[in-house]
Amino acid sequence: MSNSLEEIQKHGQSVWYDNVSRGLIESGELQLLIDLGVTGLTSNPTIFQKAITGSNDYDNAFETLVSEGKNADAIYESLAINDIKAAADLLRPIYDATGGVDGYASLEVNPHLAHDTDGTVVEGMRLFEELDRPNVMIKVPATPAGMPAIRRLIGKGINVNVTLLFSLVAYRDARQAYIAGLEDLKGTGGDLARVASVASFFVSRVDTVVDSLLGDKEPGLEGRAAIANARLAYRDFQREFHTDRFEALREAGARVQRPLWASTGVKNPAYSDVLYVESLIGEYTVNTMPEATLLAFVDHGKADDTIVSDVDGAAQLLDDVAAIGVSMHEVTAGLLSNGVRLFSDSFDELMADIESKRGVLAQA
């Protein structure tokens, strides 16, 4: 009897795990999840902050790095890179079996580079080289400065996970950056078949903000804007990757940039705990789930082709939201700004903790 993750895969969607830690890898838990049907892994600064400061799993490696005279930046990078390398190695059989379609682990550039195109490119290239795995992705935020960085990294044959996508306009720019990067790579004789990208379109955070703005204005619209927004994004994905422009790249070996549904943990306890999974299933997509959402879906989730359901209704719903004074442009712009800030804050807290611990061990 197949499990729910196998069922979701029959509909063309991959399930990735939005979590990483040394303990997850060394305990064998990640391998168990892979055996269950998880085919990729994503991380971010907040996840690493919780992993590194919330456990003793890194103590031995930390002490070694301090004894080698490493500073806080070098310590963080060593710990994070080793985790992503180990995760990628566990996922490598999936990457090989799927011909590079699946089996990726993602590592984000320093969030303080979100508004620095050149800095993002330099760091993305360096991290990709350090990771030294074909099945890793470099996460780049979907800021105005991030878009040209995405193009340049793809143009150099580097796999990119575009993160912090909230608006349909930013998603359009991310697709265009990917396609332009492929064209650049093709122009220099690069192998398009060896490059992969996902576009991480965030979901639950949209409802959190829209619901707060709706208040009691229009009962019945709560908890629906995020799914509508994602379904329109998928509509745009289908259109973009069936154009003559992309077909020329596909013939040269290019693969589509898959939409990845992120922030799929439910924030409002009044909603189904698998709302942002069951509502967004479809071909050529990925859903990266936090632990609670993954376990909930394994326990009682149902898989069906839902991402293409009532796309006209999705457009009408966003029109209805706008008609009562809620601007999706303002909502998504605020979410992007807040997302960059939250990741930067987590990174700064992590670096402060590492520096404090490094100082204590250095004096021991």
Mean pLDDT for each 10-residue chunk of the chain (364 residues)?
82 97 96 97 93 89 92 94 98 98 97 97 98 98 98 98 98 98 98 98 97 84 96 98 97 98 95 97 98 96 94 96 95 97 94 88 72
> Where do we find the tokens 């359901």?
309
Distance CA 192, CA 161 (A): 16
Distance CA 124, CA 107 (A): 9
The pLDDT of residue 1 is: 38
The pLDDT of residue 115 is: 97
Question: What total of structural domains would you count in the chain?
Answer: 1
Residues labelled catalytic? 139
Q: Which domain holds residue 33?
A: 4-363
Task: Report the amino acid identity of residue 135.
Answer: N
User: Domain with 158 in it: what CATH number?
Assistant: 3.20.20.70
Beta bridge partners of 200: 260
Beta bridge partners of 345: none
pTM, rounded to two decimals? 0.96
Question: SS3 of 309, please?
Answer: coil
CA distances from 242 to 53, 247, 310 (A): 45, 7, 21
Residue 168 belongs to what H/E stretch? helix 168-187
Q: What is the DSSP letter of 218?
A: S
Distance CA 298, CA 210 (A): 29
